[in-house]
């Protein structure tokens, strides 16, 4: 008699251990039909197959956890069936008898193909990269899904439309950020009508708000809300290239800002950049439902135009010409910025951008005059990744703390 030689890994045993039916089914029917054709009983069949009774019983009843594949091959020959046909019968049984286990596997496969778990763990969104029950529950809870597969229905990139292939990590992270941002924006009830004309009129006031490092952006966001434009802040995630995004939410513009460079003036530049898209690309955004300012289209005409618009609104060329000769005099720059209703860091960052190719030390010389975003975003609902709350709960807080009372 052949013993049950351990030819395969535990995973293979678990996979095939219980795939045969415990009641009448194709495998048992073929076996009993074959006994009748040969006019033999089960004991004789065991001798022919040279396998133990418990092995055969395990195969027929689906209780054999350690399967000798040589015994399975003999069994296929005994039934006068090809090994391929026997395997196909096993897979058919697997799909019906082990539906729950297969669904759990599909969830795990979907998750690893659509999320960069290490990054989500690093930013504090996940507690573990291996506890898939926790991961699935966290993602479903955060987005408000009934099933994780709903994530695929919200596409931003055609290259991300298939869940059967692992995508580049940066695209996974970008897609997560975009879906989170749009979902957050869509949950905010902006009850004001979007007024393009009034948005044009308001733009000069935006520069003035930049002077208040702690509350200026907060107040600008409240003002824009009353013009039908919802603005939210979503923390930047390392590894993605997103400078900002504009969405069409209930036929109104919604802008998501992020701290791509972590510089305070960059937030204002990004806001003005996205406002340009609202003003001049709104029909296209409505058609496609979103616009992302990122690496792929950095040098497109639309992006160049948006950058030029943002710069001209913040520090027009003539104003920049007046201050550049005195850029090394911090007192002059500070007073000049105050007189022109602009935060001085915006002048400094434009100067650094303009001169970084010919002066490698320019950022180091003026870095002390360019604050980070911490003060500006402190009033904007904190970091959603590190709190175990859903988007619904986060946006409820946003609505209460930022937009209510308008």
- Whole-number pLDDT of residue 397: 87
309 & 364 share domain: yes
Tally of residues, the chain: 406
Domain total in the chain: 3
Q: Would you say residue 360 lies in a domain?
A: yes
To which H or E segment does residue 231 belong?
strand 230-233
- Whole-number pLDDT of residue 400: 87
277 & 310 share domain: yes
373 & 226 share domain: yes
Q: Read off the pTM.
A: 0.79
350 & 371 share domain: yes
Question: Which CATH number goes with the domain that contains 66?
Answer: 1.10.260
Q: Show which of 97, 117, 142 is a domain's final residue.
A: 97
Q: Show which of 49, 78, 97 is a domain's final residue.
A: 97
* Domain housing 157: 106-184
242 & 361 share domain: yes
Q: Would you say residue 313 lies in a domain?
A: yes
Q: Would you say residue 240 lies in a domain?
A: yes
- Whole-number pLDDT of residue 155: 61
Q: Show which of 97, 130, 154 is a domain's final residue.
A: 97
Q: Would you say residue 3 lies in a domain?
A: no
Q: Would you say residue 38 lies in a domain?
A: yes
- Whole-number pLDDT of residue 143: 95
78 & 203 share domain: no
142 & 71 share domain: no
Contact 260, 341 (CB under 8 A): no
pLDDT mean values, one per 10 residues, the chain (406 residues): 39 39 59 90 90 76 63 85 76 68 91 95 94 96 95 62 54 92 92 94 93 96 96 91 91 94 95 95 89 66 90 95 97 97 97 95 96 92 80 90 83
375 & 361 share domain: yes
Q: Would you say residue 128 lies in a domain?
A: yes
258 & 397 share domain: yes
273 & 382 share domain: yes
CA–CA separation, 54 vs 229, rounded Å? 71
N- to C-terminal Cα distance for the chain?
A: 84
Nearest to 340 by CA among 204, 217, 232: 204
252 & 382 share domain: yes
Q: Would you say residue 2 lies in a domain?
A: no
Q: Would you say residue 248 lies in a domain?
A: yes
CA–CA separation, 379 vs 370, rounded Å? 20
Residues in Cβ contact with 343 at an 8 Å cutoff, skipping those fewer than 6 apart: 210, 211, 213, 216, 264, 265, 268, 337
Q: How many helices (H) and strands (E) does the chain have?
A: 21, 4
Residue 144: Cβ within 10 Å count: 13
């Amino acid at each position: 008699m052949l013993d049950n030689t351990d030819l395969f890994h535990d995973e293979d045993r678990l996979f095939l251990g219980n795939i045969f039916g415990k009641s009448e089914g194709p495998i048992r029917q073929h076996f009993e039909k074959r006994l009748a054709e040969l006019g033999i009983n089960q004991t004789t069949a065991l001798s022919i197959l040279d396998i133990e009774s418990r092995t055969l019983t395990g195969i027929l009843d689906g209780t054999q956890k350690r399967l000798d594949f040589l015994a399975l091959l003999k069994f296929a020959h005994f039934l006068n069936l090809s090994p391929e046909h026997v395997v196909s019968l096993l897979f058919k049984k697997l799909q019906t008898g082990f539906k729950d286990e297969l669904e759990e596997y599909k969830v795990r496969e979907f998750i690893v193909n659509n999320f960069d778990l290490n990054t989500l763990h690093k930013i504090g969104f996940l507690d573990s990269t291996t506890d898939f029950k926790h991961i699935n529950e966290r993602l479903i809870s955060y987005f408000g899904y009934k099933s994780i597969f709903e994530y695929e229905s919200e596409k931003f990139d055609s290259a991300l439309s298939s869940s059967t292939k692992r995508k580049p990590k940066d695209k996974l992270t970008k897609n997560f950020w975009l879906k989170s941002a749009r979902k957050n924006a869509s949950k905010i009830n902006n009850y004001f009508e979007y007024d393009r004309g009034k948005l044009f009129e308001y733009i000069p006031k935006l520069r003035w708000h930049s002077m208040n490092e702690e509350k200026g952006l907060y107040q600008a966001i409240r003002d824009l809300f009353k013009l039908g434009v919802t603005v939210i802040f979503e923390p930047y995630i390392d590894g993605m290239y997103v400078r900002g995004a504009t969405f069409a939410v209930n036929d109104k513009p919604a802008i998501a800002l992020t701290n791509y460079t972590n510089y305070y003036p960059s937030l204002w530049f990004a806001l003005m950049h996205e406002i340009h898209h609202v003003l001049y690309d709104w029909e296209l955004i409505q058609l496609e439902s979103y616009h992302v300012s990122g690496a792929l289209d950095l040098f497109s005409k639309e992006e160049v135009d948006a950058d030029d618009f943002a710069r001209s609104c913040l520090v027009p060329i003539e104003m920049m010409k007046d201050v550049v000769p005195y850029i090394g005099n911090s007192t002059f720059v500070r007073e000049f910025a105050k007189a022109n209703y602009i935060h001085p860091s915006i002048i400094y960052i434009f100067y650094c951008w303009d001169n970084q190719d010919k002066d490698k030390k320019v950022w180091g010389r003026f870095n002390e005059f360019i604050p980070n975003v911490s003060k500006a975003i402190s009033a904007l609902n904190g970091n959603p990744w590190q709190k175990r709350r859903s988007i619904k709960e986060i946006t409820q807080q946003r609505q209460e703390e930022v937009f209510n009372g308008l």
